[in-house]
A and B are shown apart, each in its own frame.
Chain A
Amino acid sequence: MKLSVYDGDQMTPEEAFEHFTSVLQQQSVGELAVTVSECESLDLKVESDPAPFPEHAIIDFTGLGRKDVESKGKKLKSIADARGWLLQA
């Protein structure tokens, strides 16, 4: 299981929002963020995945059992919530 994200080193939050809503034609209420080191502190690998588009990356949950996926996912959410919204629509 992999979580698609935008690489914040290649795009600003505003550029990512524009790409997601205009190019990918998706709806968004805003953006939250986590850092690579925060992911790695949870033993989650972060990799660039330019196949869909150059600024695309993934947080990799592959190989984890359901309980671990849920726990690490919730921790990432909690970290992102604590940081606050980078952008709200």
Chain B
Amino acid sequence: MPETIEFLSPRLVGNRFDQHSIPLEVLKDLSALEELIVEVAKWHYLRANKDRKRIPKGFVDQVSLKVTGIYEGSAIPLIALTIASAVGDTLFPIDQREYFEKARDSVIAAVDAAERNLPVNEFLTDSHLAYFDRIGRSLREGESLELNAANRQRPARLNRSTRKYLTLAAASAEGYTDEVSLRGIVTEASVRKNSFELQVPGLVIRGPISPEHMETILDALKKGTAGIGVSVQGIGRFNRKGQLSSLESLEHVSMLDPMDVGARLDEFRLLRKGWFEGKGIAPPASELDWLTDAFDANYSVALPSPYLFPTADGGVIAEWTAGPWEISLDIELPGRKAYWHALNVQTDDDNERELDLRQASDWIWLSGELAKLLGVNF
């Protein structure tokens, strides 16, 4: 009879998991965790049995880790260890459970040490640490996977920071990979080599093209000469300093609107202090990130994209023109307040308003006014 025991109950923390659900992409992380535990279990076996040169037949095949349920109230997948009965010609059945439990404990100890900025190499080898390049890659800022959730003082939190720490703790690690979302212009594409080059502000990135994306990339290459860009999501490779060096894989590609807000704001990242007649302030990258996300979340696709310009005091001004209406939104960064002004150049009718772009209600007002003046129906 197969034996099934409770093995691990990692707790997923973050807004995405609050509804008692686990996005499918996170299951890839759990799958990579299983691979690591298997390797560490094999390592523990060989350390305990120094007279053995190989792992016994069936050591891995007879064992599996499965999600058997999700605890109510939060996203805690219940992972059980199932061991099939020993079959075959061995006269000496092995209790894999001991080694798999040691493997689990080693992984938890390593993550706990990483969280406290302590050395991790006493718990896992360099080849084990390399697995963390995949485990936790889908976790976003503010999210974590608690491997020892029952211990509230030291839950062994795997998050973006501890994952990077663990990956780079391997002496041989040249860098790490991470999910990336980029906007840029395709400047080269090779059907023969299945690769392309993407020009993003300040950087040229090479990446592979998989068959399902070839047509879009070739189309983007043609349109790139007219300045039309693409949005690309995939896995990027970063060096030890955290600089993006290449794309490892491409997952999604789509053509950008010529007036794409995010692509235009990306151009402002190249501005440096003194950019305007020696006096201009460069808008902080974090504020450009915020503004890009704010437009994505709040600005209706039914509305025309604004023309965007940097201002000398580090902000961004958005402008629209429709018929006799000249409209501007002068956005302060940081601060995230904005001054709205709309003028009918024929009648001299104008109106002004101070907005707080941290408030959804002000974005709703903005959308309503723009729709009215620009003649857009939602």
Contact = CB atoms under 8 A, between A and B. Distances in A.
A75 B343 contact: yes
Contacts of A77: 326
A75 B343 CA distance: 8
B350 A75 contact: no
A83 interface: no
B271 to A, nearest CB: 12
A74 B345 contact: yes
A29 B348 CA distance: 29
B352 A75 contact: no
Nearest to B339: A66
B345 A78 contact: yes
Given A74-B326, A77-B326, A78-B326, A67 B345 contact: no
Contacts of B341: 67, 70-71, 74
A4 B328 CA distance: 21
Interface residues of A, number: 8
Contacts of A75: 343, 345
Nearest to A81: B321
B339 A71 contact: no
A71 B348 CA distance: 8
Contacts of A71: 341, 343, 348, 350
A1 to B, nearest CB: 11
Contacts of A66: 339, 352
A70 B345 CA distance: 12
B349 to A, nearest CB: 10
B159 to A, nearest CB: 42
Interface string A57-84: 0000000001100110011011000000
A74 to B, nearest CB: 4
A67 B345 CA distance: 14
B144 to A, nearest CB: 45
B328 A74 contact: yes
Nearest to A67: B352
Interface string B328-339: 100000000001
Interface string A21-41: 000000000000000000000
B352 to A, nearest CB: 5
Interface string B341-360: 10101001010100000000
A75 B339 CA distance: 18
A52 B326 CA distance: 32
B339 A74 contact: no
Nearest to B346: A78
Contacts of B350: 67, 70-71
Interface string B251-283: 000000000000000000000000000000000
Contacts of B328: 70, 74
Interface of A: 66-67, 70-71, 74-75, 77-78
Interface of B: 326, 328, 339, 341, 343, 345, 348, 350, 352
Given A71-B343, A74-B345, A78-B326, 9 more contacts: A67-B352, A70-B328, A70-B341, A70-B343, A70-B350, A71-B348, A71-B350, A74-B326, A78-B345
7 contacts: A67-B350, A70-B343, A70-B350, A71-B341, A74-B341, A74-B343, A78-B326
Interchain residue pairs A-B with the least CB separation, the first 4: A74-B326, A70-B341, A78-B345, A74-B343
